[in-house]
Amino acid sequence: MASLGVNIDHIANVRQARRTVEPDPVSYALLAELGGADGITVHLREDRRHIQDRDVELLRQTVRSRLNLEMAATAEMEAIALRIRPDMVTLVPEKRQEVTTEGGLDVAGQLEALKGLTGRLQDAGIGVSLFVDADPAQLEACAASGARWVELHTGTYAEASWQQQPAELARLTEGSFIARSLGLRVNAGHGLTYQNVEPVAAIAGMEELNIGHTIVARALAVGLEQAVRQMKALVQNPRRDPLFGSTSS
């Protein structure tokens, strides 16, 4: 049964649109936990477009579940992570011009640098996950880096047409199998919604799904606590749709 990490970046997006003090993502993290969130995820971007340093510091003091810090693999972000000490760091690619994270990290192309960063974070007691596409070469590089987790990029699956979704789901399922065979623990996220989350939640070995935008959008109608409860129910009790084939191990 997968757990649910709730990304609250989009709460901060609303605040930063006016450069004011509300809505405060720190307060909304508490509501997400009341709704059943198993963890809180934030992405501290280099340009600080939504989450701010102050947010991460206060979240570290107030989150009672798990704090997952998404960040680029830079010296600045490493120093922040070592100071704040989140429960987990998820290393992601980052381009300033992108609206949201596009695709997975090229671990194979920067393996030596990531080995060093991963080692230093894990030596400090911080779990490390690498956000990657479900590509065998990248997953093998993740294992070689010393990281203990991967987060499979589900954006391609989420954006696929209904005709192509089964093939993309099969790719994620195979990626989960390969990762686990390499000794890696498996999370997933990006672009998941109330309509497409269940087949991914049902993948064998899936430990956690990190979901944000769709929950915040639903919360505008039903409130954040209820929005998290609804997503948690789908993640923990996914229907097995014959369209997507077997999801057993």
Q: Is the pLDDT at 73 greater than 60, yes or no?
A: yes
| Whole-angstrom distance, CA of residue 77 vs CA of residue 139 | 23
pTM summary value: 0.90
Mean per-residue pLDDT over the chain, rounded: 94
Domain boundaries along the sequence of the chain: 3-236
Per-residue pLDDT of 192-212, as tens digits, reads: 999 999 999 999 999 999 999
Q: Given this model, what pLDDT does residue 166 score?
A: 97
Catalytic status, residue 213: no
Q: Given this model, what pLDDT does residue 202 score?
A: 97
Task: Check: CB of residue 147 under 8 Å from CB of residue 184.
Answer: yes
Write down the catalytic residue from 50, 190, 198, 225: 190
Q: Is the pLDDT at 99 greater than 80, yes or no?
A: no
**CATH code 3.20.20.70 for 3-236:** yes
Write down the catalytic residue from 43, 50, 151, 168: 43
| Whole-angstrom distance, CA of residue 117 vs CA of residue 76 | 12
- E strand segments, the chain: 3-7, 39-43, 67-71, 88-91, 127-132, 149-153, 185-189, 206-211
Catalytic status, residue 70: yes
Task: Check: CB of residue 130 under 8 Å from CB of residue 106.
Answer: no
Q: Given this model, what pLDDT does residue 177 score?
A: 98
Q: Is the pLDDT at 242 greater than 60, yes or no?
A: no
Q: Is the pLDDT at 118 greater than 80, yes or no?
A: yes
Catalytic status, residue 174: no
Task: Check: CB of residue 71 under 8 Å from CB of residue 102.
Answer: no
Lowest mean pLDDT across 85-99, 185-199, 206-220? 85-99
Lowest mean pLDDT across 24-33, 44-53, 90-99, 128-137? 90-99
Write down the catalytic residue from 10, 50, 70, 168: 70
